[in-house]
Amino acid sequence: MLPLVLASTSRYRRELLERLHLPFSTAPPETDETPLPGEPPEQLVCRLAEAKARALQSSHPTHLIIGSDQVATLDGQIIGKPHTFANAKAQLQAASGRSVTFLTGLCLYNSQSNHCQVTCAPFTVHFRQLSDAQIERYLQAEQPYDCAGSFKSEGLGISLFASTEGIDSTSLIGLPLIRLVDMLIKEGITLP
Protein backbone atom coordinates (compact mmCIF):
# COMPACT_ATOMS: atom_id res chain seq x y z
CA MET A 1 0.00 0.00 0.00
CA LEU A 2 1.28 3.44 -0.91
CA PRO A 3 1.56 5.81 2.04
CA LEU A 4 -1.41 8.11 2.48
CA VAL A 5 -1.05 11.87 2.95
CA LEU A 6 -3.73 14.47 3.57
CA ALA A 7 -2.96 17.73 1.78
CA SER A 8 -4.50 19.88 4.48
CA THR A 9 -3.88 21.62 7.78
CA SER A 10 -7.57 21.37 8.74
CA ARG A 11 -8.12 19.66 12.08
CA TYR A 12 -11.67 18.84 10.95
CA ARG A 13 -10.44 16.91 7.90
CA ARG A 14 -7.74 15.18 9.95
CA GLU A 15 -10.31 14.07 12.54
CA LEU A 16 -12.60 12.75 9.79
CA LEU A 17 -9.81 10.80 8.08
CA GLU A 18 -8.87 9.20 11.42
CA ARG A 19 -12.27 7.45 11.35
CA LEU A 20 -10.99 5.14 8.59
CA HIS A 21 -8.22 3.73 10.84
CA LEU A 22 -5.61 4.09 8.09
CA PRO A 23 -2.14 5.42 8.81
CA PHE A 24 -1.61 8.83 7.21
CA SER A 25 0.42 11.98 7.49
CA THR A 26 -0.55 15.57 6.77
CA ALA A 27 1.23 18.28 4.82
CA PRO A 28 0.20 21.83 3.98
CA PRO A 29 -0.37 22.37 0.26
CA GLU A 30 0.89 25.64 -1.18
CA THR A 31 -2.08 26.52 -3.38
CA ASP A 32 -3.53 29.77 -4.66
CA GLU A 33 -7.22 29.49 -3.78
CA THR A 34 -8.37 32.52 -5.77
CA PRO A 35 -11.43 31.71 -7.89
CA LEU A 36 -11.01 32.13 -11.64
CA PRO A 37 -13.20 34.81 -13.28
CA GLY A 38 -16.70 33.40 -13.76
CA GLU A 39 -15.74 30.01 -12.29
CA PRO A 40 -18.80 28.13 -10.98
CA PRO A 41 -18.50 26.94 -7.36
CA GLU A 42 -18.54 23.23 -8.35
CA GLN A 43 -15.61 23.71 -10.74
CA LEU A 44 -13.76 25.81 -8.16
CA VAL A 45 -13.82 23.14 -5.44
CA CYS A 46 -12.83 20.36 -7.84
CA ARG A 47 -9.99 22.42 -9.30
CA LEU A 48 -8.69 23.39 -5.85
CA ALA A 49 -8.99 19.86 -4.43
CA GLU A 50 -6.87 18.57 -7.31
CA ALA A 51 -4.42 21.48 -7.08
CA LYS A 52 -3.91 20.82 -3.37
CA ALA A 53 -3.21 17.13 -3.99
CA ARG A 54 -0.86 17.80 -6.90
CA ALA A 55 0.97 20.49 -4.89
CA LEU A 56 2.51 17.68 -2.82
CA GLN A 57 3.64 15.58 -5.79
CA SER A 58 7.33 16.53 -5.67
CA SER A 59 7.63 16.11 -1.90
CA HIS A 60 5.55 12.89 -1.86
CA PRO A 61 6.40 11.09 -5.15
CA THR A 62 5.12 7.64 -4.14
CA HIS A 63 1.98 8.47 -2.18
CA LEU A 64 -1.78 8.55 -2.36
CA ILE A 65 -2.53 12.22 -1.76
CA ILE A 66 -5.93 13.46 -0.61
CA GLY A 67 -6.94 16.99 -1.53
CA SER A 68 -10.21 18.62 -0.52
CA ASP A 69 -11.81 22.02 -0.80
CA GLN A 70 -15.21 23.29 0.28
CA VAL A 71 -17.47 26.26 -0.27
CA ALA A 72 -20.91 27.08 1.06
CA THR A 73 -23.39 28.67 -1.32
CA LEU A 74 -26.57 30.63 -0.72
CA ASP A 75 -28.57 31.42 -3.86
CA GLY A 76 -25.61 30.19 -5.91
CA GLN A 77 -23.24 32.73 -4.33
CA ILE A 78 -20.26 31.59 -2.28
CA ILE A 79 -20.28 32.49 1.40
CA GLY A 80 -16.96 32.06 3.16
CA LYS A 81 -15.74 31.60 6.69
CA PRO A 82 -17.04 34.43 8.84
CA HIS A 83 -13.95 35.00 11.06
CA THR A 84 -15.93 37.38 13.33
CA PHE A 85 -19.11 37.36 15.42
CA ALA A 86 -20.69 40.12 13.28
CA ASN A 87 -20.04 38.27 10.01
CA ALA A 88 -21.29 34.98 11.47
CA LYS A 89 -24.47 36.64 12.71
CA ALA A 90 -25.08 38.15 9.26
CA GLN A 91 -24.53 34.76 7.58
CA LEU A 92 -26.97 32.98 9.88
CA GLN A 93 -29.55 35.76 9.52
CA ALA A 94 -29.30 35.39 5.73
CA ALA A 95 -29.64 31.59 5.99
CA SER A 96 -32.61 31.66 8.40
CA GLY A 97 -35.54 29.74 6.90
CA ARG A 98 -33.54 29.05 3.74
CA SER A 99 -31.16 26.45 2.32
CA VAL A 100 -27.38 26.54 2.09
CA THR A 101 -25.59 24.07 -0.16
CA PHE A 102 -22.09 22.93 0.70
CA LEU A 103 -19.95 21.78 -2.20
CA THR A 104 -16.95 19.69 -1.25
CA GLY A 105 -14.36 18.90 -3.89
CA LEU A 106 -12.39 15.71 -3.31
CA CYS A 107 -9.30 14.43 -5.09
CA LEU A 108 -7.30 11.24 -4.57
CA TYR A 109 -4.06 11.53 -6.50
CA ASN A 110 -1.60 8.67 -6.95
CA SER A 111 1.68 10.55 -7.35
CA GLN A 112 3.47 7.38 -8.46
CA SER A 113 1.11 6.48 -11.35
CA ASN A 114 -0.21 10.02 -11.95
CA HIS A 115 -3.77 8.62 -11.65
CA CYS A 116 -6.21 11.21 -10.38
CA GLN A 117 -9.81 10.80 -9.18
CA VAL A 118 -11.85 13.97 -8.63
CA THR A 119 -15.47 14.50 -7.57
CA CYS A 120 -17.77 17.05 -5.97
CA ALA A 121 -20.04 16.06 -3.08
CA PRO A 122 -22.99 18.41 -2.52
CA PHE A 123 -24.83 18.56 0.79
CA THR A 124 -27.71 20.91 1.59
CA VAL A 125 -28.72 22.27 4.97
CA HIS A 126 -32.28 23.57 5.37
CA PHE A 127 -32.31 26.06 8.24
CA ARG A 128 -35.06 26.67 10.76
CA GLN A 129 -36.45 30.17 11.09
CA LEU A 130 -33.92 31.67 13.49
CA SER A 131 -34.43 34.65 15.77
CA ASP A 132 -31.56 37.03 16.48
CA ALA A 133 -31.55 35.76 20.07
CA GLN A 134 -31.16 32.13 18.90
CA ILE A 135 -28.34 33.11 16.55
CA GLU A 136 -26.51 35.10 19.23
CA ARG A 137 -26.85 32.30 21.83
CA TYR A 138 -25.54 29.78 19.33
CA LEU A 139 -22.58 31.92 18.31
CA GLN A 140 -21.64 32.64 21.91
CA ALA A 141 -21.81 28.93 22.76
CA GLU A 142 -19.84 27.51 19.82
CA GLN A 143 -17.93 30.39 18.17
CA PRO A 144 -17.81 28.74 14.70
CA TYR A 145 -15.86 31.57 13.10
CA ASP A 146 -13.52 29.25 11.16
CA CYS A 147 -16.43 27.33 9.58
CA ALA A 148 -18.06 28.14 6.25
CA GLY A 149 -21.72 28.88 6.92
CA SER A 150 -21.05 29.87 10.55
CA PHE A 151 -21.96 26.60 12.27
CA LYS A 152 -20.56 23.26 13.36
CA SER A 153 -22.92 20.49 12.33
CA GLU A 154 -21.03 18.00 14.49
CA GLY A 155 -21.90 20.13 17.52
CA LEU A 156 -24.69 22.43 18.66
CA GLY A 157 -25.08 23.73 15.08
CA ILE A 158 -27.39 20.79 14.40
CA SER A 159 -30.04 22.64 16.45
CA LEU A 160 -30.21 25.29 13.72
CA PHE A 161 -31.37 22.80 11.06
CA ALA A 162 -34.87 21.90 9.93
CA SER A 163 -33.42 19.10 7.77
CA THR A 164 -30.46 18.07 5.66
CA GLU A 165 -30.16 16.55 2.23
CA GLY A 166 -27.28 14.64 0.67
CA ILE A 167 -25.64 11.24 0.36
CA ASP A 168 -22.58 11.87 2.55
CA SER A 169 -22.98 13.89 5.73
CA THR A 170 -19.20 13.95 6.28
CA SER A 171 -18.92 16.20 3.23
CA LEU A 172 -20.59 18.87 5.35
CA ILE A 173 -17.58 18.84 7.70
CA GLY A 174 -15.12 18.99 4.80
CA LEU A 175 -14.08 15.48 3.74
CA PRO A 176 -16.66 13.17 2.08
CA LEU A 177 -15.60 9.82 3.52
CA ILE A 178 -18.07 7.67 1.58
CA ARG A 179 -16.70 8.95 -1.72
CA LEU A 180 -13.12 8.79 -0.41
CA VAL A 181 -13.57 5.11 0.51
CA ASP A 182 -14.77 4.43 -3.06
CA MET A 183 -11.62 6.10 -4.40
CA LEU A 184 -9.31 4.26 -1.98
CA ILE A 185 -10.84 0.91 -2.95
CA LYS A 186 -10.14 1.72 -6.62
CA GLU A 187 -6.50 2.25 -5.60
CA GLY A 188 -6.40 -1.20 -3.99
CA ILE A 189 -6.83 -0.17 -0.35
CA THR A 190 -8.79 -2.72 1.69
CA LEU A 191 -11.45 -1.20 3.94
CA PRO A 192 -12.47 -1.91 6.61
Exposure of 6 in the CB half-sphere (CA atoms within 13 A): 23
Report the relative pairing of strands 99-110 and 115-127 from DSSP bridges.
Answer: antiparallel
Q: Would residue 69 show up in a list of annotated catalytic residues for this protein?
A: yes
CB neighbour class for 24 (10 Å; exposed up to 12, middle 13-18, buried from 19): middle
Catalytic option among 69, 75, 132, 182: 69
CB neighbour class for 130 (10 Å; exposed up to 12, middle 13-18, buried from 19): middle
Exposure of 50 in the CB half-sphere (CA atoms within 13 A): 12
Instruction: Give the separation between CA 83 and CA 144, rounded to whole angstroms.
Output: 8
SS3 for 178? helix
Closest CA to 127 of 105, 149, 103: 149
- Positions marked active-site: 69
